[in-house]
Amino acid sequence: MWIYVTVKHMGNITKNVVPQPFWLEHRPETLRELITEAVHTSVAEYRARGRGADTPAPLTDEQWQEMRELGKFAFGVQYNSKEICETDAMQTALQAVEDGLVCVFRGTEALTALDERIALAEGDTLTFVKLAMLSGRLW
């Protein structure tokens, strides 16, 4: 199932957030299943990038232009060689949603309850917002 995902960090200075296609193996019935599927897909992509990180491909003109517009250049090198535990990643992601550190929206509708049914259709756009906690110093 193909959906579109936009990820916006609160401190991100780029104004344009473009939905990116995202593949889910199974159609999730609840937000918990959606988070689990998203983590599974992301970990698989991370591992695949890690296998090809020893010999990164040269950047195309299109990739160069996109990175120039974003103001961030990445060359496909994965510096962290530590293996990721998928189960721990899923638990962390679910805990972040439960604690309100990550908000999930389908269009303008907030998805908050992990076990509530969601009617996700092919081509839906989801937005994941990671909230940053700001704190000051006490003197």
What pLDDT shows up at residue 59?
A: 78
CA distance 3 to 17: 15
What pLDDT tens digit does each residue of the chain (139 aa) get?
899 998 765 555 666 677 889 999 999 999 999 999 999 999 998 888 777 656 667 778 888 887 787 777 776 666 667 788 999 999 999 999 999 999 999 988 999 899 999 989 999 999 988 887 776 665 5
Q: What DSSP state is assigned to residue 25?
A: S
Helices (H), 53-120: 61-70, 86-98
Phi/psi of residue 41, nearest 5 degrees:
-65, -45
Q: What's residue 16's pLDDT?
A: 67
- Residues linked to residue 128 through DSSP beta bridges, in sequence order: 7, 104
Instruction: List beta partners, residue 30.
Output: 117
What is the pLDDT, as a whole number, of residue 55? 65
Strand partners, 110: 105
Q: Return d(Cα 54, Cα 100) in angstroms, integer.
A: 37
Q: What is the pTM assigned to this prediction?
A: 0.75
